[in-house]
Chain A
């Protein structure tokens, strides 16, 4: 199982990770707001993550750590 860790407070909610995920596991959290006032990205199903790191590759703010 892979594990994603988000540095949530640095997220700007741009959504580039959401589009990059081949398993469609990410979303911009509609009900959360971070310190910067953005809706941050989050993973909806950690179990299903394959750890491909596509999300982190496309993240302009380097907020995603990927472990496998």
Chain B
């Protein structure tokens, strides 16, 4: 009996990501969720600009490549074109979602747009070769912060889940990671919930996934996963930042 194999929603082609980059794990989780919910035929995914720009080549569902940061606006259009049938997700990195596309992110959340956002936070611009991201940690050395990110010069990282949780709009915000088996399973649960929320008409659901970039962090894949535990999680604590339906049930 096959207990583990590539999900149908993931096309059987080699991914272009660097060795040990956890984009691949997150792609697979999204595809597994699409399979399990039986929604591949009505799902439209929006790819960002950044390392995952070519995600449109990897998912079996219909795909759209958006301009840098505009995926939530494009998703809004696709969703509203046929809200009953379309299941729409965006897959965006930290530069795309939290820097150039911050306005689109915040307003889609404020509108409680009924879409699912998979937000990959790896604290760096990968595609362009390792520059400082809006989520790079204080002191983090990158190509454009060669002496370490100095908050006095370039400010502090943006904590997306915390920030959006202050809005009345969004339905569901959770931060997860994929740096060990337990965390991968937990990330899948969160991603599934974010899609299920959309199917149930509950609204804006964003899952932030702390992800490893061994190449641009200058680490082995193994050390990169450890760095998530040691450096990223303390700054970006995992957990649910908003779950309106659960809050209602509690009351």
Contact = CB atoms under 8 A, between A and B. Distances in A.
Q: Quick check: do A and B touch in the complex, using CB within 8 A? A: yes
A22 to B, nearest CB: 9
A51 B184 CA distance: 17
Interface residues on B, range: 20 to 34
Contact of B24 (A19, A38, A61, A64): A61
Interface in A27-68: 36, 38, 51, 53-54, 56-62, 64-68
A67 B14 contact: no
Given A15-B221, A57-B185, A60-B23, A66 B17 contact: no
A14 B222 CA distance: 8
Contacts of A19: 222, 225
Given A54-B181, A61-B24, A16 B225 contact: yes
B4 A66 contact: yes
Nearest to A65: B5
Nearest to B7: A62
Contact of A60 (B20, B180, B181, B185): B20
Contacts of A54: 181
Contacts of A36: 14
B10 interface: yes
Interface residues on A, range: 20 to 34
A58 B4 contact: no
A61 B65 CA distance: 22
A62 B59 CA distance: 13
B215 to A, nearest CB: 11
Nearest to B220: A15
Given A57-B181, A61-B24, A62-B28, A13 B19 contact: yes
A38 B221 CA distance: 14
A57 B15 contact: no
B2 A67 contact: yes
A60 B15 contact: yes
Given A16-B222, A19-B222, A62-B6, A10 B184 contact: no
Pick the 6 closest A-B CB pairs, nearest first: A60-B24, A14-B20, A12-B19, A66-B4, A14-B19, A53-B4
Given A53-B4, A60-B21, 19 more contacts: A2-B3, A9-B14, A12-B20, A14-B221, A15-B220, A15-B221, A16-B225, A56-B4, A57-B25, A58-B180, A58-B181, A60-B23, A60-B24, A61-B24, A62-B24, A62-B28, A64-B4, A65-B6, A68-B1
Interface of A: 2, 9-10, 12-16, 19-20, 36, 38, 51, 53-54, 56-62, 64-68
